[in-house]
């Protein structure tokens, strides 16, 4: 064990003492290492003479825990540290996986239209007024049109030379066909899917929040603050909370991707329509 490992283990296990005491003790050991280094002792040697950081933390708890809180059980601390380490590992892995995905579907900038969309969305959920619902749809279509040309312009320049926005005649027959098809059929399908995806996203966030709440109660009970849970319930609460948080996090991320995919598909469909009309 080197100095960093020793200090990390010590900090990790030094729970159940006041912040002041904790900071002071950590400072003391840092000073100890510094002076030892000055005397040309090797880090390994210093660490060996200091002893086991877990035991030190336990002693510190015994000496310094406030009488009103009572002493934290060692098993509780060991469990807590193990849980912290495990969830850090798992979350790291989750981030790894989702980072790879982020490259494939690059995020667009969050523009004014995005804000308008969110506000209209919230209003339509709250009031259930068809005006707002149509508003959200209108914003989506507007943004898709506004931003589709930008990307297409770049792509077409490479392939076929400059091809500006189509100057072709707007075929009125095709326009009517497209309009009828969309209004009578496509729009309703799209609309249902739209709300399902939104619901998925909101549901995922709800799972995430419930996980935080459960974990919060478990932690408070563990430290003796708000004994909502007791004994074995605390352990199940800890793991249930963490599980819900991870599940919620994963689902949120997944549903966010699905949303992005969905809006991209919508944009493509609208472009297709435009091309059809302006042929």
Q: Work out whether 31 is an interface residue with another protein (CB under 8 A).
A: yes
* Residue 36 within binding range of another protein, rule CB under 8 A: yes
By the 10 Å C-beta count (0-12 exposed, 13-18 middle, 19+ buried), 125 is classed as middle
Cβ contacts of residue 46 below 8 Å, gap of 6+?
3, 32, 33, 36, 37
Q: Choose the binding region for another protein from 53-61, 71-79, 138-146, 220-228 (rule: CB under 8 A).
A: 53-61
Could you say whether residue 170 binds another protein (CB under 8 A)? no
Q: What is the DSSP string of 33-61?
A: HHHHHHTT--HHHHHHHH--HHHHHHHHH
Task: Check: CB of residue 110 under 8 Å from CB of residue 147.
Answer: no
Q: What's the angle, vertex CA 213, arms to CA 210 and CA 214, rounded to 5? A: 85
Rounded Cα–Cα distance for residues 194 and 68 (Å) = 54
Q: Please tell me whether residue 55 binds another protein under the rule CB under 8 A.
A: yes
Q: According to CB under 8 A, which one of 8, 44, 45, 51 is a site residue for another protein?
A: 51
Q: Is 53 in the site for another protein (CB under 8 A)?
A: yes
Residue 28 found at the interface with another protein (CB under 8 A): yes
Residue among 24, 78, 101, 279 that touches another protein (CB under 8 A): 24
CA angle at residue 169 from 165 to 174, to 5 degrees? Answer: 105
Binder among 13, 29, 139, 248 for another protein (CB under 8 A): 29
Is residue 3 involved in binding another protein (CB under 8 A)?
Answer: no
Applying CB under 8 A, the span of 23-31, 94-102, 115-123, 271-279 interacting with another protein comes to 23-31
* Shortest Å distance, C-beta 74 to another protein: 15
Site string for another protein, 62-101 (x = CB under 8 A): -xx-------------------------------------
27 vs 101, which CB is nearer to another protein? 27
Q: Cα angle vertex 116, ends 113, 117, to 5°?
A: 85
Closest CA to 220 of 232, 237, 207, 206: 237
CA atoms within 13 A on the CB side of 112: 2
Span near another protein by CB under 8 A; candidates 54-62, 75-83, 187-195, 198-206? 54-62
Give the nearest distance from C-beta 10 to another protein in angstroms.
9
Residue ranges binding another protein (CB under 8 A): 21, 24-25, 27-29, 31-32, 34-36, 38, 49-53, 55-56, 59-60, 63-64
């Amino acid at each position: 064990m080197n100095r960093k490992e020793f200090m990390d283990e010590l900090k990790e296990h030094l729970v159940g003492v006041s912040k002041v005491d904790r900071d002071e003790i950590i400072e003391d050991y840092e000073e100890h290492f510094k002076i030892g280094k000055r005397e040309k002792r090797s880090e390994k040697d210093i660490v060996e003479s200091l002893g086991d950081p877990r035991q030190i933390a336990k002693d510190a708890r015994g000496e310094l825990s406030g009488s009103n809180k009572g002493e934290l059980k060692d098993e509780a601390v060991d469990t807590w540290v193990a849980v912290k380490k495990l969830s850090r590992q798992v979350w790291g892995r989750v981030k790894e996986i989702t980072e790879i995905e982020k490259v494939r579907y690059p995020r667009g900038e969050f523009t004014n239209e995005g804000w308008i969309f969110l506000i209209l969305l919230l209003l339509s959920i709250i009031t259930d007024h068809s005006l707002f619902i149509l508003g959200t749809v209108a914003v989506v279509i507007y943004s898709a049109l506004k931003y589709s040309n930008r990307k297409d312009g770049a792509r077409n320049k490479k392939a076929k030379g400059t091809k500006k926005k189509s100057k072709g005649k707007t075929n009125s027959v095709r326009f009517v066909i497209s309009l009828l098809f969309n209004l009578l059929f496509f729009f309703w399908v799209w609309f249902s899917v739209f709300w399902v995806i939104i619901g998925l996203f909101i549901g995922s966030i709800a799972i995430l929040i419930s996980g935080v709440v459960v974990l919060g109660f478990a932690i408070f009970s563990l430290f003796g603050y708000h004994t909502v849970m007791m004994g074995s319930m605390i352990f199940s609460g800890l793991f249930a909370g963490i599980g819900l948080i991870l599940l919620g996090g994963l689902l949120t991320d997944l549903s966010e991707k699905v949303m992005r995919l969905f809006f991209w598909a919508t944009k493509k469909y609208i472009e297709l329509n435009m091309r059809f009309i302006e042929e």
